[in-house]
Structure 1
Amino acid sequence: MRKSSSALPAILIGLASALFFTMTYVLNRSMAAAGGHWAWSAALRYFIMWPLLTVLVGLHGGWPSLWAELKRHPLQWLLWGGVGFGVFYVFLALSAEYGPSWLIAGSFQLTVLAGPLLSPFIYTDERRRIPLKALAVGSLIVLGVLILQLGHFQLAMPASAWLALLFVLIAAFTYPLGNRKLMLHLERQGVLLDASQRVLGMTLGSLPLWLCVATYGYVQAGWPSESQVLQSAGVAVSAGVIATTLFFRATHMMANNPNGLAAVEATQSTELLFALLLGVLFLGEHWPSAFSLAGAVLIIVGMVLYSRISAPSELEARAFEPEG
């Protein structure tokens, strides 16, 4: 009982982080529905995060050690920042063109499978093993995503829906790929950087890609509207700064409590519920059908089970990844 009580504050912080993370899906969908070009929705987030994180890291004296690491290994940061933040968010922003926020939020939960499936291609030690129980539970999440999608499209998914699902799938895999490869690089170099330093470093590494994306957005649609800039700032602050800080705080509180860490990890499944409520209330999105709701329940159950059965090493690998 004592452990459960001590975990409650961390769980509440985890729930708050999930709420702020959800703003990514809701605001991206809002910008897409208003005609904002996806390229600006994606690039503006990281352009705005850059100075905010620079100030945040500077306030606790983390800039010198990060800058030294960036100068030593610039290609690693450019490559994995470009993959983990750049490619990931390009496709997540693109997917907002094709469906309501809750559909994208639910589908992105496929990322819980991505980590284990990528492990044999990332690690050379015991972490390369794929936990079979986790894989089985992950399959439940995949089934939930398919039911969620089929229910939304009334059992007949058009080509555009499959394309959107492909975009989300690419985002779900490139996010942990970039993050884990970067963390593995730091591990091999014996470099210790905290969460905000890693997020800032990967943001800086992704900037060349964002300059290209923004140029494409300008050629296609001109400058972004004031509303799109403000909503992108909302994503940058809520998901990129507040949610990340809260989530790392919660996982740090439970670093020596595997059950507590699993509970904090499970709070991220509520992103789907938050996206559903916010989308319906503020964007006027249609309430999902009973068939889609069944898929949503499967996803949430799968997320909770996954967090409970994952080995502590796997939980730590996922919990201490910076959120994009």
Structure 2
Amino acid sequence: MSRDVLTPGRALAAVGIALCAALFFTFTYVLNRVAADQATHWAWIASLRYLFTLPLMLVLMPFQGGMKPVLRAIAAHPWPWLRSSLIGFGLFYCMLSFAAASGPSWLVAGTFQFTVIAGILCAPFLYSDARRRIPRAGLAVAALIFAGVLLMQFGHASGALDAAGWIALVCLLVAAFAFPLGNRMLLLHLEGTGEALNATQRVFGMTLASQPLWILLAVYAGAMHGLPTASQLLLGAAVALFAGVIAMVLFFQATGMVRNHPLALGAAEAMQGSEVVFAMLLGVLLLGEDWPRGMALGGAALVVLGIVAFAWVVARPAAGSERATRVLRTDKGA
């Protein structure tokens, strides 16, 4: 644990920056919904984000540790990078893009928030040491968030999901697990090789390693559904900039400011729950979506409550060693 003294001002600043990061992450759901409303095929929605993210990150990398360490790491062990990227970025974003047209922004955002707890549920399949144990508190929070997700989905569907609704729900849950699974697979690989890469370098490496998938997907989308319009290209670029670059930098900045102070770190990470609220506000104000009501609103509240409870679990001094705390943390700041 670092001996640096955390001032109230720095803690408040970290929370504020994390809140801004959540706002920019929320543009993923809102802009993807706009693209779906423009009849953009899900393959274009998925591929355009990461095709635009790569050149944006090329500009960013000189200020974030550089590209050379990442390129050396990928060249030395291409398969672990490819495997992790195809799951953590490829499967994750294909499923999220496919579900973009399934409902309002807040429904997609709220359902995907299960990813906050999905990482620790993957632990028994990834680790062979003490990290494979799932804390009881983690299971309780997972049940709370999942109950909220179901309430949102059934509330929006007036109590009965049709086939399309079930497919969208499964796609979002697959996305929620794929994102932390791919990230943690890469972290385990780097742990084994001893290669030290910061969070931005890992995101850049996974973006680069996943490019063959996005190129193939773009070729498929172009051949089957034609080229995207200028508006659809702009939406893809906006998602890449807002969620893929700005939100990422802000979130890493916020968690980095308080990484040695579990309570403040938990508070910063709890700001992810505001993505549901932001999605409601932006969806209503920009897209004319209806507010969630009744069961759906209660489910959204449960999801936010679950994320706050999970942040508290991580923040407890009883969480254990720094290594154990990292296993519990959200994968956005891994």
Instruction: Provide the residue aligned with 2:209 in structure 1.
Output: 205
- Report if aligned partners of 2:11, 2:264 keep a CA contact under 8 Å in 1: yes
How far apart are residue 316 of structure 1 and its match?
2.8
Residue 33 (structure 1) aligned to one of 32, 37, 44: 37
Which residue of 1 is the match for residue 331 of structure 2?
321
Aligned residues between the structures: 324
* Counterparts of 2:309 and 2:145, CA distance in 1: 10
* Cα distance change, pair 188–222 in 1 and its aligned pair in 2 (3 A): same
State the alpha-carbon separation in 2 of the partners of residues 231 and 43 from structure 1: 12
The reply to whether residue 42 of structure 1 matches residue 46 of structure 2 is yes
Opposite residue 130 of structure 2, the aligned amino acid is E
Supply the distance in 1 between the matched residues of 2:24 and 2:324 (Cα, whole angstroms). Answer: 24
Q: Which runs of 5+ in 1 are unaligned?
A: none
Q: TM-score, normalised by structure 2?
A: 0.93
Percent identical among aligned pairs is 49
Question: What does the per-residue CA deviation read over 1:231-271, in whole Å, with 9 as the maximum and x for residues that have no partner?
Answer: 11110000000000000011111111000111011000100
Q: Answer yes or no: is 1:246 the counterpart of 2:256.
A: no
Distance in structure 2 (CA, Å) of the matches to 1:113 and 1:13: 22
User: In the alignment, which of 57, 64, 70 is matched to residue 66 of structure 1?
Assistant: 70
With over 3 angstroms needed to count, the CA separation of the structure-2 counterparts of 1:139 and 1:320, relative to structure 1, is closer
Matching residue within 3, 17, 20 for 1:13: 17
Deviation at 1:112, TM superposition (A): 2.2
Cα distance change of structure 1 residues 248 and 318 upon mapping to structure 2, 3 Å threshold: farther
SS in 2 for 1:35: coil
Where do 1:84-163 residues align within 5 Å?
84-163=88-167
Letter in 2 for 1:175: F
Rounded to whole Å, the distance in 1 between the matches of 2:280 and 2:36 is: 17
**CA RMSD after TM alignment:** 1.8
Aligned AA for 2:178? T
Find the counterpart in structure 1 of residue 290 from structure 2. 286
Task: Say if 1:104 and 1:78 are closer, same or farther in 2 by CA, change over 3 A.
Answer: same
CA contact (8 A) 2:150 2:299 kept: yes
Deviation at 1:188, TM superposition (A): 1.1
SS at match of 2:295: helix
| TM-score, normalised with respect to structure 1 | 0.96
Distance (Å, rounded) in 1 between the aligned partners of 2:128 and 2:66: 30
Report if the CA contact (8 A) 2:64-2:200 is conserved.
Answer: no
* Contact 1:251–1:320, Cα closer than 8 Å, also in 2: no
The answer on 1:229 being equivalent to 2:239 is no
